Amino acid sequence: MTKGLSFPRHSENLANQFRELGYWNDDTLTTYIEKWAKKTPAKVAVVSPDTELTFEDWHLQSLKFANGLLKLGLKRGDVIAIQYPNTPEFLIAYIGIALMGGVMCTLHMPYRAGEMAPLMNHGKTKAVICGQGDEKYDAPNTMMKLKEKVASLQHIIVIGEKPSDYYNFNSLIEEANTSPIADPPIASDPCILCFTSGTSASPKGVVRTYETLTANARIYSPTINLNSEDRVMVAPPFTHVFGLTCGTLALCWGSTNILMPLFTPELYADRLINAQPTIVFSAPAHVAATIKAGLLDDVDLSSLKEVIIAGSVCPPEVAANLERRMPNGRSGQLFGMTETILIMQTPLDEKPEIRHSSTGRKTEGIDVRIVNPIDGTDVQIGEEGELLLRGYAIMAGYLNNDEANRLAFTKDGFFRSGDLATCDSDGNIIITGRVKDIINRGGIKINPTDIENILQGHPNIILAALVPMKDDVLGERICAFATLTPNTKLTFDQMTDHLSKNGIAKMRWPEKLEIIEEMPMTPTKKIQKGELVRILEK
């Protein structure tokens, strides 16, 4: 019987169907950490810039941490939050929480008290794990003050030097034993609680069970030929479902996790060159910034088999530019969301123009429709519409949010992704934008995504984003925001000349250009267009 957190679940009939079809089984994360600790105990499981963990180390430290949490009085079903970068400690905490049956709630690194308090209250968080802080951000003190706003919060666990009044992560491990867990989780138990990145509205919480996470690892991984010999580098943060599920793939298949605690073009390039990954998961912004900084020119990337790009729409030239530097590998794309996990992948034997411009084909166990956003009717092959999704990996609903759930699903159970997409005759799906990002210029609906991709092909532009600006006559006009490569400039006329040369009609050109030093981004490197609109309004 599941304990603790109450959350939306699929109907019993649907859950039984997923089990009968072989999508869901009895595996938990315990299954895989124990499997690889026994089968390949001395193999390196985790590589960070300054340390390594074997599978045996990872298992034993996680088991001790699990027992340490139980010693604090935490129990199966309790929500335990974490705000920490991609490090061995994060993975020890992740598996430790899973071993004792807790629910790990991820908090993005840029979040502060104002963002974290409502999330922690929403999940009734019992404990939180954080770093020791620095002169810019006193994480332990922030968490201590959150106790006044989060009534359920009882324990603060600090990784690093421990100030008084806090539990120390390393001490919990050192002082605990490796006794078997008396009340371990079962596959239908909640494993993680992740919140959407909140690019428009308040974040929404999605709970994932072990059966869904492990099924996704089994079903998705063969699309990229992942195996135990691979070295998997995950650039997105583990505090986001993209990064966390990719790190979980590596565990489930006995691969090595290569960690990058934070993104800088310099560290990204260093990990690609020196850590010798075979498979890399990245956001488009990671790749674009590193290439435009010149850090991947004339370097050895021969270890790379696959670089999978996701998290936001990837300009085809970004994927192609990287692939030209990979003598033995290919770049492709996947599609996933907090609400769906990893459910599409470009076939790696597909021709480059498909791999670089589409998110590929749906994986097993997923149903897809593309519909007219206004009347809900299915569109024809090649026509643009809203992407609808249904299947074993799609959430059953947001945590404690009836209104959001009412809007999120169709009557026949399809999840409304909010993404605009087209599908070709081979089933390849191209994400063309977001329904909410369409700009209505005097009655003409303008999708900004292809214009943004063309702008990002300009040698001086790193990132570009188009947003609406209010207009008394047309309702909305278009403003382009851009960040530039170092020591370059861009005029309005240079921008429009570039668009003209690339076949963009004048009625779709931006009517204003704003150069900014840095784009406002979510933790997974999606541009926060709402923040750009607010900048315009100021």
Q: Is residue 212 part of a domain?
A: no
Closest CA to 101 of 126, 85, 77, 73: 77
| Same domain flag for 201 and 281 | no
Q: Is residue 258 part of a domain?
A: no
CA 171 remoteness from chain centre: 31
Domain boundary among 434, 468, 493: 434
Domain span at 485? 444-537
CA–CA separation, 297 and 401 (whole Å) = 48
| Same domain flag for 122 and 60 | yes
Q: What strand order describes the sheet that includes 429-434?
A: 366-371, 385-391, 415-423, 429-434
| Same domain flag for 528 and 429 | no
- For residue 255, what is the enclosing H or E element? none
Tokens 């491990």 -> residue: 173
| Same domain flag for 23 and 89 | yes
- Composition of the chain by helix, strand, coil, percent to 5: 30, 25, 45
| Same domain flag for 276 and 411 | yes
Count of H-run helices and E-run strands, the chain = 17, 25
| Same domain flag for 372 and 483 | no
| Same domain flag for 189 and 320 | no
- How many alpha carbons lie under 13 Å from residue 291 in its C-beta half-sphere? 24
Domain boundary among 206, 224, 248: 206
Mean of per-residue pLDDT scores for the chain? 95
CA–CA separation, 166 and 156 (whole Å) = 6
Q: Is residue 49 part of a domain?
A: yes
| Same domain flag for 281 and 425 | yes
Res 522: pLDDT: 85
Q: Is residue 4 part of a domain?
A: no
Domain boundary among 184, 206, 228: 206
CA 268 remoteness from chain centre: 17
| Same domain flag for 127 and 274 | no
pLDDT tens for each residue of the chain, 538 residues long: 445 789 999 999 999 999 999 999 999 999 999 999 999 999 999 999 999 999 999 999 999 999 999 999 999 999 999 999 999 999 999 999 999 999 999 999 999 998 899 999 999 999 999 999 899 999 999 999 999 999 999 999 999 986 678 999 999 999 999 999 999 999 999 999 999 865 444 669 999 999 999 999 999 999 999 999 999 999 999 999 999 999 999 999 999 999 999 999 999 999 999 999 999 999 999 999 999 999 999 999 999 999 999 988 899 999 999 999 999 999 999 999 999 999 999 999 999 999 999 999 999 999 999 999 989 999 999 999 999 999 999 999 999 999 999 999 999 999 999 999 999 999 999 999 999 999 999 988 899 999 999 999 999 999 999 999 999 989 999 999 999 999 999 999 999 999 999 999 999 999 999 999 999 998 778 899 999 999 998 8
Per-residue pLDDT reduced to its tens digit, 236-265: 999 999 999 999 999 999 999 999 999 999
Q: Is residue 218 part of a domain?
A: no
**Contact (CB, 8 A) for 434 and 312:** no
Res 312: pLDDT: 87
Res 200: pLDDT: 41
Q: Is residue 465 part of a domain?
A: yes
Q: Cα–Cα distances in Å, from 514 out to 102, 196, 313, 536?
A: 46, 28, 21, 9
| Same domain flag for 287 and 410 | yes
- Tell me, what CATH number does 518's domain have? 3.30.300.30
Give exposure, 276-303, as e/b (b: 16+ Cβ within 10 Å). bbbbbbbbbbbbbbbbbbebbeeeebeb
Dihedrals phi, psi of 258, to nearest 5 degrees: -100, 120
Res 199: pLDDT: 41
| Same domain flag for 476 and 327 | no
DSSP assigned state of 482? E
| Same domain flag for 389 and 449 | no
Q: Is residue 217 part of a domain?
A: no
- Tell me, what CATH number does 335's domain have? 3.40.50.12780
Q: Is residue 140 part of a domain?
A: yes
Total tally of structural domains belonging to the chain: 3
